[in-house]
């Protein structure tokens, strides 16, 4: 991974560059988790982990642009479909960590395994003066006129998963719901953080389809936010972790995957308010078993991605 | 001598080709060959169909042009009056105002957009203070143009004030001796002579408007208003990504900027704007007299809207314990600053990295840009023609597209050795992105400096190099230094290329703030922005004070 050049060595902007053993880790947020994992892993093994953290889109864009000359060893994305796709293109190394034993079967594969799991929920500002919403359909009511936001499914993979899930569970009624939300003045301001921000300040009252761990963390920081998971069901977004076939350092890469799935690593995952991938590690919040999870055929939904987003734009954003 | 000239021309041309030309070539190859990034030339032209069947792309192109023109007009309204006043009169605290109006460059556009959002949206700070909101205004075409204008109007301010300082009172005095009134002299003499600089700055406004992503993404998506860059970014950041489609979309952007550049070039070259002939000039500016207070009022009003309100919104947000807690005294504390000041923190590393990169970028762009400008304006023969074409390149490429081009080129399987994955790649990207500033500023300035000054030095026995060093360079210095300050300010908060190119393990101020915002900690992002803005402002203020102490002798003609 380390390509030595005259420029690089004379350009001493970053420390730890000339370390003998390094691992390059590309990951979707949260960035605090990536740093914590990197530091704990380095303390345990002495291997330096160079972290690139961005949105799933940025991570995947970088991987694709670097395909002819890959840089990363280990990758965590926030989109399960991305791992499936990369595996089908033969880009992933096969590895099953001994620590993955307690990861539920549907969250692991010969070439990739979940790091943690988030779920989609309603994030509601408790000081908004609106009644507490209990169901997805509640937000189409008069009480929430002009007060609902939703992440853009074109930018937020999890929001896309939610639409696919609601369509699975409700059929065409899902589109009627989205249409009613749009008629009720729901805005689609951008990715997840852009949808949550107006709700924090009170410009809106609730996010339809918020990534739960972000809102849990904000609530823990003192914001008047409540995370509500509708009883009718929601979708979960497991975050796949995988080793690239092109890695030049498979021993360090497998050691890192083992570490993320160890007790210590999963505890760090839990600290971010995500659900740990291992069923035997407790999270800080309700786990998968306490949620009514809508099963989504990821591959089928992904194949229809363009159609679903086009229909969303037609029904909701009027683009 | 000819030999020395051809060597410098070759050097400057190579720099432009490596920094910008090859990345652009690789983008074009990617546009034609979809499998190019994987080292294959298969499936040629299979993606070009996107251009013809996409009505949305045309709509985005229309929106882009509309927005860019609106922002240009907005920048004239905000930047031209204060620029003229600063250039022609003794404005009290002139150098302080210069630093104040650099601040908009230090605020990342998307952070400024968020600050305006938190101020004007329903239940925002304005509502909490005054009981009404301006959400309807902000989330509209006018609102997007307004916020982008506030990011960019200083370009016009600096260009106009510097140009008028150059033109000076001398020509206007001559006109008045011949019976022209003060206003007549201004509109017939001073303003027309400043047109190259004004046109150059408007062109930069145009280019930056059409390649601006943060503001339209933050504000315009609320109204379904899409521009080309958001379209390109979507193709690059939404998985599965479409490198070819993004490359195709950027071709339309390049066409727009090239058209604007041709227009500007035509304005600048169709007659002579030489005002620096070496004859003694009276460097004194006019006194404002009784007009001093109204003028200060205008400066204050522009500063209030363009600098104070967004900065205050950023500062207030950074000190808020919780956003939902609102503007209450009990809700203000320093808790979001603590993790940044923790010793050896990543935030601190990010500040250092951005600082060094911005300084190196400023010097590198000034060197290359000054050289390129000199050859474009003063060069002869084929070298000049080649350089003229090459110097347009950096302008026509949006930062995000250049970043992808840099990835494609520096990471290609055809290179035996590469700086990809090292800090140097960021320097290369910054220099490529920010080169237009010194080139434009220096070209506009050189067009005002008569070649006869060089000739006089040569007649007196100086070599061309000596004439360059002792005559032309000192005359160019004010524009180059102004450009360097702009480059430093923008490089210290660069975002798009940093996200795409920063090697794993390396953070800049921009990527740190962006990731804070992405994860929902708006306050930490705002706290980091505040620290970066404060440090950069302090450095720029120090440079300005130092220049003032050196006196005008070192840097003015």
CB contact under 8 A, B420 and A71: yes
B359 and B320, same domain (yes or no) = no
Instruction: Please state the CATH superfamily assignment of the domain spanning residues A6-117+238-285 in this structure.
Output: Periplasmic binding protein-like II (3.40.190.10)
CA distance B90 to B99: 16
Tell me the residue range of the domain where B467 lies: 349-378+413-557
Phi, psi at residue B178, to the nearest 5°?
Answer: -85, 10
pLDDT of residue A225: 94
Which residues of chain B make contact with A152, given a CB cutoff of 8 A?
Answer: 221
Partner-chain residue, chosen from B324, B504, B519, that has the shortest CB–CB distance to A224: B324
pLDDT category of residue A9 using cuts at 50, 70 and 90: very low
CB contact under 8 A, A25 and B422: no
Structural contact between residues A240 and A76, judged by C-beta atoms closer than 8 angstroms: yes
Structural contact between residues B222 and A203, judged by C-beta atoms closer than 8 angstroms: no
Is B22 part of any domain?
no
Terminal Cα-to-Cα distance of chain A (whole angstroms): 43
User: Chain B window 203-242: which residues touch A at a Cβ cutoff of 8 Å?
Assistant: 217-218, 221-222, 224, 226, 234, 236-241
B367 and B326, same domain (yes or no) = no
Partner-chain residue, chosen from A25, A50, A64, that has the shortest CB–CB distance to B503: A50
CA distance A293 to A273: 18
Torsion angle defined by CA atoms of residues B286, B287, B290 and B294, in that order, rounded to the nearest 10 degrees? 70
CA distance B321 to B318: 8
B42 shares contact with chain A (CB less than 8 Å)? no
| Tens digits of pLDDT across chain B (557 residues) | 456 677 888 888 888 888 888 988 887 887 777 777 666 676 666 655 555 556 777 888 889 999 999 999 999 999 999 998 888 888 888 878 887 888 887 788 888 998 999 999 888 999 999 989 888 888 888 999 999 999 999 989 988 888 887 776 667 677 777 777 777 777 777 778 778 778 878 887 888 888 787 788 777 667 667 888 877 777 776 666 677 777 777 777 777 877 877 777 676 666 655 655 555 554 567 777 788 889 999 999 999 999 999 999 999 999 998 888 888 888 898 888 888 887 667 888 899 999 999 999 999 999 999 888 888 887 777 777 777 777 777 776 778 778 878 877 887 777 777 788 788 999 999 999 899 888 878 887 888 777 777 778 778 877 777 777 777 788 888 788 888 988 998 898 888 788 778 888 888 998 888 778 766 578 888 999 999 888 888 887 787 777 777 654 333 32
pLDDT of residue B125: 93
B330 shares contact with chain A (CB less than 8 Å)? no
pLDDT of residue B44: 66
CB contact under 8 A, A49 and B505: yes
Partner-chain residue, chosen from A3, A32, A53, that has the shortest CB–CB distance to B421: A3
CB contact under 8 A, B423 and A60: no
Torsion angle defined by CA atoms of residues B291, B293, B294 and B295, in that order, rounded to the nearest 10 degrees? 80
Residue identified by tokens 């359909």 is A137
pLDDT in tens, B97-124: 887 888 887 788 888 998 999 999 888 9
Q: Which of B209, B62, B118, B42 has its CA nearest to residue B526?
A: B118
CA distance B344 to B533: 20
Which residues of chain A make contact with B321, given a CB cutoff of 8 A?
Answer: 222
Contacts of B182 (CB under 8 A, 6+ apart): B172, B176
Q: Which of A27, A28, A239 has its CA nearest to residue A115?
A: A239
Is B538 part of any domain?
yes
B93 and B126, same domain (yes or no) = yes
pLDDT in tens, A249-294: 999 999 999 999 999 999 999 999 999 999 999 999 988 888 888 8
Q: Is the peptide bond before B549 cis (omega within 30 degrees of 0)?
A: no
B95 and B67, same domain (yes or no) = yes
Structural contact between residues A254 and A104, judged by C-beta atoms closer than 8 angstroms: no
CB contact under 8 A, A14 and B423: yes
Q: How many CB atoms lie within 10 A of CB A21?
A: 12
How big is the A-B interface in CB pairs under 8 Å?
199
Domains of chain A, by residue range, sit at 6-117+238-285, 119-235+293-317
CB contact under 8 A, B504 and A52: yes
C-alpha dist (Å) from residue A46 to A38, B241, B343: 10, 35, 21
- As given in the structure block, the two tokens for residue B211 are 């390649």
Structural contact between residues B252 and B61, judged by C-beta atoms closer than 8 angstroms: yes
3-state DSSP assignment of residue A207: strand
- As given in the structure block, the two tokens for residue B445 are 């300035």
B294 and B373, same domain (yes or no) = no
CB contact under 8 A, B326 and A202: yes
Q: Which of B98, B220, B418 has its CA nearest to residue A194?
A: B220
pLDDT category of residue A72 using cuts at 50, 70 and 90: very high
**Topology agreement, domain A6-117+238-285 and domain A119-235+293-317:** yes
CB contact under 8 A, B506 and A13: yes
pLDDT of residue B271: 60
- As given in the structure block, the two tokens for residue A53 are 């953290």
Characterize the bridge pairing of strands A225-228 and A206-211: unpaired
Query: Which residues face A121 on adjacent strands?
Result: A210
- As given in the structure block, the two tokens for residue A251 are 């021993």
Residue A227 has pLDDT above 70, yes or no: yes
B504 shares contact with chain A (CB less than 8 Å)? yes
CA distance A79 to A276: 16
pLDDT of residue A10: 38
B96 and B204, same domain (yes or no) = yes
Mean of the per-residue pLDDT values for chain A? 87
B476 and B505, same domain (yes or no) = yes
B401 shares contact with chain A (CB less than 8 Å)? no
Structural contact between residues B30 and B408, judged by C-beta atoms closer than 8 angstroms: yes
Contacts of B103 (CB under 8 A, 6+ apart): B307, B311, B533, B537
Residue identified by tokens 């904000």 is A218
Which residues of chain B make contact with A309, given a CB cutoff of 8 A?
Answer: none
Best mutation target, A1, A28, A64, to test chain B (most B CBs within 10 A): A64
CB contact under 8 A, A60 and B419: no
Which residues of chain B make contact with A127, given a CB cutoff of 8 A?
Answer: 324
Which residues of chain A make contact with B421, given a CB cutoff of 8 A?
Answer: 1-3, 71
C-alpha dist (Å) from residue B143 to A113, B38, B59, B226: 45, 42, 19, 14
Tell me which of B333, B362, B389 is where a domain ends.
Answer: B333
Structural contact between residues B334 and B459, judged by C-beta atoms closer than 8 angstroms: no
| DSSP code at position A188 | E
B357 and B296, same domain (yes or no) = no
Structural contact between residues B19 and B431, judged by C-beta atoms closer than 8 angstroms: yes
Which residues of chain A make contact with B234, given a CB cutoff of 8 A?
Answer: 154-155
Which residues of chain B make contact with A246, given a CB cutoff of 8 A?
Answer: none
CB contact under 8 A, B519 and A30: yes
Which residues of chain A make contact with B504, given a CB cutoff of 8 A?
Answer: 24-26, 50-52, 71-72
Shortest Cα–Cα distance, B505 to chain A (Å): 4
Which residues of chain B make contact with A14, given a CB cutoff of 8 A?
Answer: 349, 353, 423, 503, 505-506
- As given in the structure block, the two tokens for residue A137 are 């359909």
pLDDT of residue A19: 41
DSSP B118-159: HHHSTTSHHHHHHS---HHHHTSHHHHHHHHHHHHHHHHHHH
**3-state SS string for B344-413:** CCHHHHHHHHHHHHHHHHHHHHHHHHHHHHHHHHHCCHHHHHHHHHHHHHHHHCCHHHHHHHHHHHHCCC
CB contact under 8 A, B240 and A85: yes
Burial tier of B306 (Cβ tally within 10 Å: 0-12, 13-18, 19+)? buried
Pick the CATH number of A119-235+293-317 from 3.50.50.60, 3.40.190.10, 3.20.20.210, 3.30.1950.10: 3.40.190.10
B353 and B319, same domain (yes or no) = no
C-alpha dist (Å) from residue A215 to A74, A206, A285, B74: 27, 11, 11, 38
Is B246 part of any domain?
no
CA distance A30 to A317: 28
Which chain A residue lies closest to B36 (C-alpha atoms)?
A68
B181 and B322, same domain (yes or no) = yes
pLDDT of residue A8: 40
Tell me which of B277, B301, B333 is where a domain ends.
Answer: B333
Phi, psi at residue A205, to the nearest 5°?
Answer: -105, -30
CB contact under 8 A, B357 and A13: yes
DSSP B227-249: -HHHHHHHHHHSSSP-HHHHHHH
Contacts of B262 (CB under 8 A, 6+ apart): none
pLDDT in tens, A77-120: 888 888 888 899 899 999 999 999 999 999 999 999 999 999 99
C-alpha dist (Å) from residue B262 to B48, B199, B300, B389: 27, 11, 36, 11
Which residues of chain A make contact with B411, given a CB cutoff of 8 A?
Answer: 65-66, 68-69, 71
Q: At what angle do helices B522-550 and B346-378 cross, to 10 degrees?
A: 50
CB contact under 8 A, B323 and A197: yes
Q: Which of A103, A110, A106, A67 has its CA nearest to residue A87?
A: A110
pLDDT of residue B309: 95
CA distance B223 to B242: 25
Tell me which of B275, B304, B333 is where a domain ends.
Answer: B333
CB contact under 8 A, B515 and A193: no
Which residues of chain A make contact with B412, given a CB cutoff of 8 A?
Answer: 68-69
pLDDT of residue A1: 38
pLDDT in tens, A148-202: 999 988 777 788 889 988 998 888 999 999 999 999 999 988 778 888 988 998 9
Is B2 part of any domain?
no
B306 and B437, same domain (yes or no) = no
pLDDT in tens, B313-352: 999 999 998 888 888 888 898 888 888 887 667 888 899 9
C-alpha dist (Å) from residue B74 to A66, A217, B147, B486: 41, 41, 10, 20
pLDDT of residue A14: 40
Which chain A residue lies closest to B408 (C-alpha atoms)?
A65
- As given in the structure block, the two tokens for residue B243 are 């490198």
The number of residues making up chain A comes to 319
Shortest Cα–Cα distance, B357 to chain A (Å): 9
Is B440 part of any domain?
yes
Run of H or E residues at B434? helix B424-434
Shortest Cα–Cα distance, B238 to chain A (Å): 5
B362 and B311, same domain (yes or no) = no
CB contact under 8 A, B419 and A187: no
B332 shares contact with chain A (CB less than 8 Å)? no
CATH of the domain at B513: 1.10.3720.10
Q: At what angle do helices B195-211 and B436-448 cross, to 10 degrees?
A: 170
Q: How many domains does chain B have?
A: 2
Shortest Cα–Cα distance, B173 to chain A (Å): 53
3-state DSSP assignment of residue B465: helix
CB contact under 8 A, A66 and B114: no
Q: How many CB atoms lie within 10 A of CB B110?
A: 22
Structural contact between residues B446 and B379, judged by C-beta atoms closer than 8 angstroms: no
B419 shares contact with chain A (CB less than 8 Å)? yes
Structural contact between residues B232 and B30, judged by C-beta atoms closer than 8 angstroms: no
Which chain A residue lies closest to B242 (C-alpha atoms)?
A61
Determine what percent of chain A falls in helix, strand and coil, rounding each to the nearest 5.
45, 20, 35
Which chain B residue lies closest to A70 (C-alpha atoms)?
B411
- As given in the structure block, the two tokens for residue B481 are 């230094």
Partner-chain residue, chosen from A8, A69, A224, that has the shortest CB–CB distance to B411: A69
User: Chain B window 139-198: which residues touch A at a Cβ cutoff of 8 Å?
Assistant: none
3-state DSSP assignment of residue B42: coil
CB contact under 8 A, B413 and A225: no
């Amino acid at each position: 991974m380390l390509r030595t050049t005259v420029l690089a060595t004379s350009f001493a902007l970053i420390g730890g560059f000339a370390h003998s053993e390094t691992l390059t880790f590309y990951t979707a947020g949260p960035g605090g988790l990536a740093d914590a994992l990197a530091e704990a892993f380095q303390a345990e093994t002495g291997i330096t982990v160079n972290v690139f953290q961005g949105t799933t889109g940025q991570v995947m864009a970088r991987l694709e642009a670097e395909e002819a000359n890959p840089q990363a060893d280990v990758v965590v994305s926030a989109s399960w479909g991305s791992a499936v796709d990369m595996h089908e293109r033969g880009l992933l190394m096969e590895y099953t960590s001994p620590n993955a034993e307690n990861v539920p079967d549907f969250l692991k594969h010969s070439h990739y395994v979940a790091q943690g799991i988030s779920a989609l929920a309603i994030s509601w500002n408790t000081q908004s003066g609106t009644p507490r919403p209990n169901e997805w359909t509640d937000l189409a009511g008069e009480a929430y006129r002009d007060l609902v936001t939703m992440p853009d499914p074109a930018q937020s993979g999890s929001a896309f998963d939610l639409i696919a899930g609601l369509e699975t569970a409700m059929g065409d009624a899902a589109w009627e719901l989205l249409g009613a939300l749009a008629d009720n003045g729901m805005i689609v301001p951008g990715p997840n953080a852009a949808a949550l921000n107006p709700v924090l300040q009170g410009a809106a009252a609730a996010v339809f389809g918020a990534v739960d761990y972000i809102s849990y963390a904000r609530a823990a920081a003192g914001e008047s936010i409540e995370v509500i998971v509708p009883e009718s069901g929601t979708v979960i977004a497991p975050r796949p972790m995988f080793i690239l076939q092109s890695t030049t350092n498979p021993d360090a890469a497998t050691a890192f995957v083992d570490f993320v799935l160890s007790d210590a690593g999963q505890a760090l995952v839990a600290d971010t308010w995500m659900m740990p991938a291992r069923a035997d590690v407790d999270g800080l919040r309700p786990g998968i078993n306490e949620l009514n999870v809508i099963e989504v055929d990821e591959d089928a939904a992904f194949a229809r991605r363009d159609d679903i987003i086009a229909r969303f734009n037609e029904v909701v954003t009027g683009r | 001598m000819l030999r020395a000239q051809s060597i410098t021309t070759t050097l400057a041309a190579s720099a432009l080709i490596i920094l910008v030309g090859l990345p652009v070539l690789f983008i074009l190859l990617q546009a034609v060959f979809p499998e190019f990034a994987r080292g294959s030339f298969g499936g040629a032209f299979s993606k070009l169909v996107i251009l013809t069947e996409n009505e949305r792309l045309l709509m985005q192109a229309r929106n882009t042009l509309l927005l860019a023109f609106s922002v240009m007009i907005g920048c004239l309204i905000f930047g031209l009056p204060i620029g003229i006043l600063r250039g022609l009169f003794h404005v009290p605290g002139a150098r302080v105002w210069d630093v104040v109006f650099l601040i908009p460059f230090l605020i990342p556009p998307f952070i400024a957009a968020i600050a305006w959002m938190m101020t004007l949206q329903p239940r925002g700070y304005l509502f909490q203070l005054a009981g009404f909101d301006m959400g309807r205004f902000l989330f509209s075409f006018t609102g997007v143009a307004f916020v982008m204008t506030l990011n960019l109007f200083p370009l016009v301010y600096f260009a106009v004030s510097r140009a008028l300082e150059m033109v000076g009172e001398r020509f206007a005095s001559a006109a008045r001796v011949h019976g022209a009134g003060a206003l007549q002299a201004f509109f017939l003499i001073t303003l027309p002579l400043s047109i190259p600089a004004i046109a150059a700055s408007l062109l930069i406004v145009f280019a930056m408007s059409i390649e601006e992503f943060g503001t339209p993404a933050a504000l315009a998506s609320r109204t379904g208003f899409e521009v080309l860059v958001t379209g390109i970014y979507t193709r690059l950041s939404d998985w599965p990504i479409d490198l070819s489609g993004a490359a195709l979309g950027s071709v339309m952007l390049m066409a727009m900027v090239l058209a604007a550049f041709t227009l500007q070039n035509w304005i600048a070259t169709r007659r002579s704007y030489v005002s620096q002939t070496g004859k003694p000039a009276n460097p004194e500016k006019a006194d404002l007299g009784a007009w001093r207070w109204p003028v200060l009022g205008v400066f204050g009003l522009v500063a209030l809207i363009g600098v104070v309100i967004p900065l205050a919104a950023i500062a207030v947000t950074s000190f808020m314990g919780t956003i939902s807690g609102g503007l209450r005294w009990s809700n203000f504390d320093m808790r979001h600053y603590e993790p940044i000041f923790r010793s050896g923190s990543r935030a601190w590393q990010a500040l250092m990295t951005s600082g060094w990169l911005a300084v190196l970028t400023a010097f590198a762009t000034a060197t290359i840009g000054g050289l390129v400008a000199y050859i474009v304006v003063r060069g002869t023969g084929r070298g000049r023609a080649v350089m003229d074409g090459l110097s347009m390149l950096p302008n026509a490429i949006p930062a995000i597209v250049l970043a992808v081009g840099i990835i494609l080129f520096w990471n290609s399987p055809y290179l035996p050795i590469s700086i990809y994955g090292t800090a140097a790649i960021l320097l290369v990207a910054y220099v490529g992105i920010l080169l237009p500033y010194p080139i434009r500023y220096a070209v506009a300035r050189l067009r005002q400096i008569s070649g006869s000054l060089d000739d006089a030095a040569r007649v007196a026995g100086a070599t061309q190099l000596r004439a360059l060093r002792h005559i032309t360079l000192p005359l160019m210095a004010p524009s180059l230094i102004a450009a360097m300050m702009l480059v430093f300010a923008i490089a210290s908060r660069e975002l798009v290329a940093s996200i795409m190119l920063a090697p794993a393990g390396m953070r800049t101020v921009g990527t740190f703030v962006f990731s804070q915002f992405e994860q929902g900690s708006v306050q930490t992002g705002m706290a980091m922005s505040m620290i970066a803005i404060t440090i950069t402002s302090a450095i720029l203020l120090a440079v300005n004070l130092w220049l003032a102490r050196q006196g005008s002798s070192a840097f003015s003609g």
